[in-house]
Amino acid sequence: MTKVPSFETARLLLKPVTLGDLPGYQKYFVDYEVIRHLSDAVPWPYPDDGVRFFLENVILPVQGKDRWVWGIFMKTNPDELIGCVDLWREGRPENRGFWLGRPFWGQGLITEAVEPTIDYAFSHLGFEKLIFSNALGNTRSRRVKEKTGARLIGTRPAKFVDPGLSEAETWELQKEDWDRLKADQNKNFKPPR
Ligand SMILES: CC(C)(COP(=O)(O)OP(=O)(O)OC[C@H]1O[C@@H](n2cnc3c(N)ncnc32)[C@H](O)[C@@H]1OP(=O)(O)O)[C@@H](O)C(=O)NCCC(=O)NCCS
């Protein structure tokens, strides 16, 4: 078991999720527009005590062991969780999930949030590649993969909370592709004068 580290990005703080984060988790996660894109293993209608049950029984017992779950917080409001990035060792086939509260969509926040977690997976957790997945039609989630250098490797039948979604896209991010993307970004970075 390792301690899950916290990260700081330009606009965000990422902190290991705790039971203290229940209010924000409940407020932003229990929203059909967020949940409908997730695997049909997630119940809908969502039970009243579902978030507490999930944190207490599914996440916290393995946090830092073979699962690493970060709450996402705006630096301007550092006590309210607005989303999560979730990494796990055993591919199903994917190794990651994420969600963000609806009021925060479309500002590049998830793309910003996943960056330090990908770095951590490759540099500290020993991953050589990461597999990601999204429902075919979840264009926002797809863009996050494209923007972070992942390659589409296939589609497969899958079930989601929204019964209208019936296929999943599978993506692969190799460590060497991530390293190359980061090196290119650093090359193009011009410090402010
Ligand atoms: C997927 C999710 C985390 C994206 O969060 P986000 O912070 O809005 O993502 P970003 O802003 O970093 O990137 C989203 C991209 O989608 C684009 N986008 C925004 N609105 C869009 C729309 N209506 N249709 C298509 N693309 C759209 C954005 O412009 C951005 O791409 P760009 O940088 O090329 O402009 C968020 O929508 C969410 O929580 N959805 C529900 C849960 C979910 O789907 N989780 C992932 C399961 S695989």
pLDDT of residue 192: 57
Q: Give the pLDDT confidence of 107-130 residue by residue, as tens digits.
A: 999 999 999 999 999 999 999 999
Task: Please work out whether the CB of residue 113 comes within 6 Å of at least one atom of ligand 1.
Answer: no
Question: In this structure, are residues 130 and 171 in contact, taking their beta carbons and an 8 Å threshold?
Answer: no
CA of 109 to the centre of ligand 1 (A): 9
Distance CA 131, CA 123 (A): 16
Into which CATH architecture does domain 7-188 fall? Answer: 3-Layer(aba) Sandwich (3.40)
Q: Which atom of ligand 1 is nearest to the CA of 107?
A: 11
**pTM summary value:** 0.94
Distance CA 80, CA 75 (A): 10
Task: Please work out whether the CB of residue 161 comes within 6 Å of at least one atom of ligand 1.
Answer: no
Question: Whose alpha carbon is nearest atom 41 of ligand 1?
Answer: 34
pLDDT of residue 2: 72
**Residues in the chain, pLDDT under 50:** none
pLDDT of residue 104: 98
Task: Please work out whether the CB of residue 109 comes within 6 Å of at least one atom of ligand 1.
Answer: yes
Closest alpha carbon to 153 in 134, 126, 181, 139: 134
Task: Please work out whether the CB of residue 144 comes within 6 Å of at least one atom of ligand 1.
Answer: yes
Task: Please work out whether the CB of residue 84 comes within 6 Å of at least one atom of ligand 1.
Answer: no
Place of tokens 């050589």: 128
104 CB neighbour count, 10 Å cutoff: 15
